[in-house]
Amino acid sequence: MNAREILEALNVLDEHERVEAKRASEVGKSLLESVCAFANEPGLDGGWLLLGVVREDLALFPSYEVEGLSQPDKLSADLASQCRTEFNTPVRVDIAAEEVEGKAVLVVRVPEAPPHDKPVYFKRRGLPAGAMRRIGSVDQHCTDDDLLVLYQGRQQDSFDAGIVPDASLDDLAPEALADYRQSRAEVNPDAEELRWSDEELLQSLGAIRRTTGGAGMIGVWQPTVAGLLLFGKAQALRRCFPMTRVDYIRVPGREWVPDPERRFDTIELRDPLFRLVRRAQAAVLDDLPRAFALPEGELQRQDRPVIPQRVIREAIVNALMHRSYRSTSPVQVIRYSNRLEIRNPGFSLKSPEHLGEPGSQPRNPKIAAVLHDTRFAEIKWSGIRVMRESMDQAGLTPPLFESDRGRDLFVARYLFHHFLGPDDIAWLAQFKSVHLSDDDAKALVFVKEALAIDNASYRELTGVDPLAASQALRRLRDAGLLEQKGRGSATYYVPTTKLLPIDEPVSIALSSKPVGLSGNLGGLSTDPPMQSSKLPPDLPPALATVIERLGMRAPPGEVEAAIVMLCAWRELRTDELVALLARRAGTVRSYVTRLVQQGCIQQRYPRQPNHPQQAYRANTDHERD
């Protein structure tokens, strides 16, 4: 990218995982930390730095402006020199000087370091303090867990090819292997592997590997991660992978249990992958709304699931095939009243902008190969494209995909809403004076159903690039149909009363960012704290004493402990915590974010981080370190 393209991307999407802007009058700590983070982050393919640019926050709609560099040649030389000497391994950055608006800027391309060179870290700081990762738009210091991820990247074998230490061949179920043979025979009855013995077949699939024997001894055959997940007995799966299950969750309404009195129903599914796919698919199809159909020439009606069966199958297979099995979280299939949501641990290794294009980056190649051989998964890595085409043929809203690198999570959402039907067209007719394009119409219908839209969602619906999506959304905002919320990369749009009259039942959600759009805590307000001269009268005396003893220089651990105790007393919003603790809003938010990540406190709306009524309560099942 050149400087103008990067500047344009900044003003559309703000700083994000692959782009950072710096004033950079000299090579400082922040600049080098960004270089380190871009070089380390797995699967990011590096990033871009634009130097000589500042963010103007005082405008109605904040933007990035070119300030320029007084000595670009000196800065370029200093940066290249320090990238060679400051880190444990040289980082070879590409630096280009350009002119924008008559001012000098530098465009710096930071390549991702080879796996064998990671982690990259500051020599004088050592590990783990000297290593950085790029999480969203933020450079973060590595933890011990982060270093483990970076060191594991040096392994040539994938995680699913690794041996499970405490497993044996007795942990593999013969009936699961027979299930594979039957599925493979249905695809290709003449496949040569069907004539092999069970042991030969397991070896060829990478389901078992021989251990390394010591002192010249021959090792024994043991199941790999892929082998146990594909063919393991129930007892072995529970012992070795207790959380690698599928949870089917039915939630009343459109939100994630906002009322603790309205609980959800859950079915836990744990089986070898072939059976697990079938059971999860059956659980979803049995519970989905049915659509009436009368095919031409037929006399008998047919009831079909509102979401095509092929989409359900591919969505479940994708979640199980591409999930991170290093994570101890289950795959969640959540059925709301208006949508199906499938959440699996492990962000997409493929850029979200290229989902559906030919080619794939499988996280678990051994598992993927078996599922493709048996046609459980689409051939030629085309699952996303197949789902989009199937939803379009059924007249449904296109599926929406969200890859969250920070939370290591991938989410797929499928609305039950039939797209641009007669009712939608009649509703759109009232906005004839706005001269809506086809893409605008799709976006407004989506907002009518989901109550909000952001740049990523608009791109998913229409297939346009980020700049075109931003321009279209601003045009709808200027027409009075959408209201802009958030800022920078957390910008989203909600319907105005002109689009949806206030007497309609959806008006309660107009000021929130509903489930279905990516959350970003960085989009919250950074206003000064709300000071409170007296504590609430119902605050327990013990808590009042804790707060009164907290000085302004109290260690972070003491402040975080106080937040947990306050949230155990009752649910509290961030502004209430700010008032109680008499600290700046940004400081309190950083504590709250950390406590949520640690599991010490829980959000009232965990799927809507930017909800205007977001509040936090203590997690009584969690013990702090």
Asked if residues 70 and 25 have their Cβ atoms less than 8 Å apart, the reply is yes
pLDDT digits (tens, 9 = 90+) for 298-346: 555 556 788 999 999 999 999 999 999 988 889 999 998 888 999 999 8
Domain end residue (candidates: 101, 119, 152) = 152
Do 221 and 301 lie in one domain? The reply is no
Q: What CATH code is carried by the domain that includes residue 307?
A: 3.30.565.60
Residue 518 bridge partners (DSSP): none
State the CATH number of the domain containing residue 559. 1.10.10
Residue 456 in any domain: the answer is: yes
Does one domain contain both 396 and 251?
A: yes
**pLDDT category, 579, cuts 50, 70, 90?**
confident
Count of C-beta atoms within a 10 Å radius of residue 126: 11
Q: Give the position of tokens 């969203």.
A: 136
Mean per-residue pLDDT for 465-473?
Answer: 85
Is pLDDT at 448 greater than 90 in this prediction?
no
Q: Is the pTM of this model over 0.85?
A: no
Q: Which of 24-33, 103-112, 143-152, 510-519 has the highest mean pLDDT?
A: 103-112
Residues 498-511, mean pLDDT to the nearest whole number: 50
Which residues span the domain enclosing 165?
A: 159-240
Confidence band, pLDDT 50/70/90 cuts, at residue 356: low
In a domain? residue 367: yes
- Hey, what are 361's tokens? 């980056």
Closest to 381 measured CA to CA, from 398, 399, 368, 391: 368
pLDDT tens-digit series, residues 196-211: 999 999 999 999 998 8
Domain assignment present for 529: no
Phi and psi torsions of 120, nearest 5°? -85, 135
Co-location of 252 and 387 in the same domain: yes
In a domain, 265, yes or no: yes
Same domain, yes or no: 220 and 367? no
128 prior amide bond cis, ω within 30: yes
What per-residue confidence (pLDDT) applies to 530?
33
In a domain? residue 330: yes
Instruction: Out of 95, 123, 152, pick the residue that ends a domain.
Output: 152
Residues 607 and 502 in one domain: no
Residue 136: phi and psi, rounded to 5, are 65, -125
The last residue of one of the domains, among 135, 152, 169, is: 152
98 CB contacts (<8 Å, ≥6 apart)? 2, 3, 104, 105, 106, 107
On whether residue 533 sits in a domain, the answer given is: no
Residue 267 lies in a domain: yes
Give the mean pLDDT of 559-585.
87
Q: What is the pLDDT of residue 59?
A: 53
More confidently predicted of 384 and 57: 384
Q: Which residues pair with 139 in a beta bridge?
A: 134
Q: pLDDT digits over 74-128, tens only? A: 999 999 999 999 999 999 999 999 999 999 999 999 999 998 899 999 999 999 8
Under the banding of pLDDT at 50, 70 and 90, the label for residue 55 is confident
Same domain, 264 and 395: yes
